[in-house]
Amino acid sequence: MKLGVNIDHVATLRQARYVGEIDAHNAEPDVLAAAEICERAGASGITVHLRADRRHIQDADVFRLRERITTKLNLEMGNTKEILEIALRVKPDDVCLVPENRREVTTEGGLDVVGQLDALRPNVSRLREAGVRVSMFIEPSREQITASHALGAEMLELHTGAFANAQDSDQLAELARLRDAAIFAHSLGLQVNAGHGINYSNIALIRGLPHIEELNIGHSIVARALFTGFEHAVRDMLAAMLQP
């Protein structure tokens, strides 16, 4: 199980002081510096979400990361023409298509692939033709998995938000849904990733799921980094992922 670190909230802190596009040599904290620390600590990839409203990650961040990081770049994006054109210029290793709502604090749920097949199909094709691997950020539903597979996505990322927000028996029920989804997706030949709301506590349950190749974790790592430093925060998460 690999770790992709989402560094959006490093940019959130920066944008609290700077508005819009920034001078990369002046504004801090530096997103690229955070990415390099994550890689040094053992992360297998860097994830960023270039939102339509540019509330945290900016266009320049994505191009700088593509040029400088040595692992892989996973770009989360909404299914919009503007962001697609940027993705085709950047050519990240992976693109994860996610739902996007301007009023949300963070991504609130999985992408409705079933209901948006016609809108998604041409953009998935363009990304794949450009040599970019495509993932769908979806709820742990067999219907959404089947639709993602039909679109030609190589991967999917299971939305673990409902699991992270549930307690006791409800959380175990959500864990069972994730397990079933991971097994089903793997049977179709899809790479299975997971993310959203995973932290240093609930990782104890998540790490036991079958067929999960990569976890994408951001907020919890950035929050811990305020007290321990980024390198320690990433290493702590990796250690928690590897416990039996």
Q: Hey, which residues are catalytic here?
A: 49, 76, 196
Sequence-distant (≥ 6) Cβ neighbours of residue 226 within 8 angstroms: none
Alpha helices in 42-187 (DSSP H): 59-68, 81-90, 117-129, 142-151, 161-165, 168-187
- State the Cα–Cα distance between residues 75 and 87, nearest whole angstrom: 8
Q: State the residue for tokens 């490093």.
A: 10
Residue 96 sits at φ, ψ, to 5 deg, of -115, 115
Cβ–Cβ < 8 Å for 204, 240? yes
CA distance 88 to 131: 9
How does strand 94-97 pair with strand 2-6? Answer: unpaired
**Type of residue at 104:** E
